[in-house]
Amino acid sequence: MAARVLTQVFNGLSLTATLDAALPDVASAKDRAFVQALTFGTLRQFHKLDFILAQLLEKPIKDQEIKALALSGLYQLAFMRVKSHAAVSETVAAVRTKTWAKPLLNGLLRNYLREQERLVAACQLDSGAATSHPKWLIHRIQHDWPEQAAQILAENNRQAPMVLRVNSRQTDRDRYLQLLADQGIAATAGGFSPSSIALENPVPVDKLPAFAEGWVSVQDGAAQLAAGLLDAQPGQRVLDVCAAPGGKTAHILETQPLLQELVAVDIDPQRMRRVDDNLQRLKLDAKRVVGDAAYPQSWWDGRAFDRILLDAPCSATGVIRRHPDIKLLRKPADIDALQAAQQAILEAIWPLLATGGRLLYATCSVLKQENERQVAGFLAVHAEAKTIPILADWGEARPLGRQILTGARDMDGFYYALLEKT
């Protein structure tokens, strides 16, 4: 199963979507956990494992499924607490009809065990293998953050914590912490949001108390900062652009129940269904619109908004630790295309903001091209726009906005800039 999931990722599908489709076919919870650990781990260490695999082969493996088996077998040997003989035999046994691959996998995995020390040393001489990142991304991060780059790359390869957001319309943090303690789930109040709880160890959401009743959601601490920064007030009209899957939409509604209206817009009908599901579970309501944020004339009713959240489409380089497939799926040319898309949306949405209103620009990226340079370019052509300084004890103050680097205070990498229309 893990090899089939990895093969689909190699062919361009996201890990989240592939696992969501595959895991229901895995019978036991233990086996599902193993498949998840193996796929996430293999992708986190892909560039290191791929380098090692190349050292063990005379010519590359063209069959993607067999390559996936080889990489997942190497991951078990190098990083998991699986006995060596079991990892080798199970990997070989996973070959079904392609019997030609059995001796190949058996030989290369056993060769790895014999040459492990040499291969690990060789990895340290190659930046892509040493950090398990594509070299173009290493160079981008080193250029933008020369002093912090090594830490960012290391954090990208660590497992992210599971963080919860308590629905303040249903309960409060102290009460929910007690519910967790009653069920033996270790957790602490954490982060910079008054609704944030960090779990000591991740658990399936169906094991969280009153999850189905909407008392709590899963959301990283960095993402939870958006609602507070937007600071929506009673009676205001709020727009959430690129809203799916709805975590920030819900948090705005949880923190300010007296809005005149919240309009959530997303271009993807399937992702908008996730917004519907989340709001229904949380017992919240918003106007949902399937539409292109870059062309608001097709869905805007002409009434200005007092607050706009633009959670812009981005490289997602700040959430690699949660989505390690980004390191494989994202390409250098994507950054310019994403910057252009962000600029188009920002330009299209700005006229919808009322005079005196505020727009919060957000990305889950650590690349300056998508963040502070994007905002600088916008301000250069909009004299009626000014930045509101974000004064906080999280992240790094930038000339424009504030940047959280991946892993800082155990949060995902995020950028925020608050703009006001004068």
Task: Cite the active site residues.
Answer: 364
Give the span between the Cα atoms of 140 and 182, in whole angstroms: 46
3-state SS, one letter per residue, for the chain: CHHHHHHHHHCCCCHHHHHHHHHHHCCCHHHHHHHHHHHHHHHHCHHHHHHHHHHHCCCCCCCHHHHHHHHHHHHHHHHCCCCHHHHHHHHHHCCCCCCCHHHHHHHHHHHHHHHHHHHHHHHCCCHHHHHCCCHHHHHHHHHHCCCCHHHHHHHHCCCCCCEEEECCCCCCHHHHHHHHHHCCCCEEECCCCCCEEEECCCCCHHHCCCCCCCCEEECCCCCCHHHHHHCCCCCCEEEEECCCCCHHHHHHHHHCCCCCEEEEEECCHHHHHHHHHHHHHHCCCCEEEECCCCCHHHCCCCCCEEEEEEECCCCCCCCCCCCCCHHHHCCHHHHHHHHHHHHHHHHHHHHHEEEEEEEEEEECCCCHHHCHHHHHHHHHCCCCEEEECCCCCCCEECCCCEEECCCHHHCCCEEEEEEEEC
302 φ, ψ to 5°?
Answer: 90, -5
Contact (Cβ atoms closer than 8 angstroms) between residue 63 and residue 101: yes
Contact (Cβ atoms closer than 8 angstroms) between residue 342 and residue 313: yes
